[in-house]
Amino acid sequence: MSRQARFFLEDGPLAIFIIDEVVLRRMVGGRLVMIRQLKHTLDVIRRFPNIVVQIAPDELGERVAATMGFTLLELPNGTEVIYSESVDRGHFSRRPDAIERLSRAYDRLRADALSASESVDLIRRTMEALLNVSPELQPLPTAMSWFKSSYTGENGGQCVQTSHDLRPLGLMPIRDSKNPDGPALTFPTTSFTAFVNGVKLTGFDGI
């Protein structure tokens, strides 16, 4: 984590990351972990203009110019270095032929990848898909603080509960207080806020 600090400075070096689309969708750690990672990625891109992320879309197929990960480094004195990793070690190379070959591969891949703005849109759509109402998001963390919603109507007796514990992730879980061990519907906070504002303004008359 300490290696990130240099990039987060005001004069941080330019860093361009080209990421395979499959990385956005491969489930590691569960949905909540994936949501946190995608949200953090979007936050970093928004806050630090020296960090650029481009996605190599699935449809590139065999046109992807390289099948292994590598890093092209240009040092302040103009020296170019390649860094790559194998199973148990990292490798640095200053060989001109290797630098030329991988630089060409990088240029082709970046040309075929989505633009920075298109990549942000894809990351956001992927995160929103994970945030959508889905039973697959169950079970929610057990140590959550639930409270009865003030928007619950009198006829049903305050039977709807919600929690603010997942708001940092952009989530608003809703459950039936009469069945606390049952499933919860999890909405994006933006969707839930829009729903509440709609009720306040119009009550959704005519629906």
Instruction: Compute φ and ψ for 109, nearest 5 degrees.
Output: -65, -40
90 backbone φψ class: left, alpha, beta (φ>0; ψ -120 to 50) = beta
The pLDDT assigned to 133 comes to: 46
Q: How many CB atoms lie under 10 A from the CB of residue 29?
A: 9
Tokens, residue 56: 């190599």
The pLDDT assigned to 139 comes to: 60
What whole-number distance in Å separates Cα of residue 120 and Cα of residue 54? 8
What residues form DSSP beta bridges with 198? none
Instruction: Express each pLDDT in 78-123 by its tens digit.
Output: 999 999 888 888 999 999 999 999 999 899 999 999 999 999 999 9
* Cα-based distances in Å from 2 to 5, 91, 118: 6, 20, 29
Q: What is the DSSP letter of 68?
A: S
Prediction pTM value: 0.67
Instruction: Express each pLDDT in 131-184 by its tens digit.
Output: 764 554 556 666 678 887 665 555 555 578 888 877 777 778 888 888 887 777
Q: What is the mean pLDDT of residues 196-203?
A: 76
The pLDDT assigned to 68 comes to: 72
Percent of the chain's residues with pLDDT above 90: 32
Name which residue leads in pLDDT, 131 or 49: 49
Percent of the chain's residues with pLDDT above 70: 84
The pLDDT assigned to 1 comes to: 64
Tokens, residue 32: 């909540």
Tokens, residue 182: 């049952």
The pLDDT assigned to 204 comes to: 59
- Tokens 């997942």, residue located: 166
Q: What is the mean pLDDT of residues 70-76?
A: 91
Q: How many CB atoms lie under 10 A from the CB of residue 46?
A: 10
The pLDDT assigned to 146 comes to: 85
The pLDDT assigned to 154 comes to: 55
Q: What is the DSSP letter of 141?
A: P
Dihedral, 91, 97, 100, 103 alpha carbons, nearest 10: -20
The pLDDT assigned to 171 comes to: 78
The pLDDT assigned to 203 comes to: 63
Mean pLDDT of the chain: 82
The residue ranges of every structural domain in the chain are 2-131, 137-201
With beta carbons less than 8 A apart as the criterion, state whether 171 and 165 touch: no
The pLDDT assigned to 157 comes to: 55
Dihedral, 10, 15, 20, 22 alpha carbons, nearest 10: -20
The pLDDT assigned to 188 comes to: 77
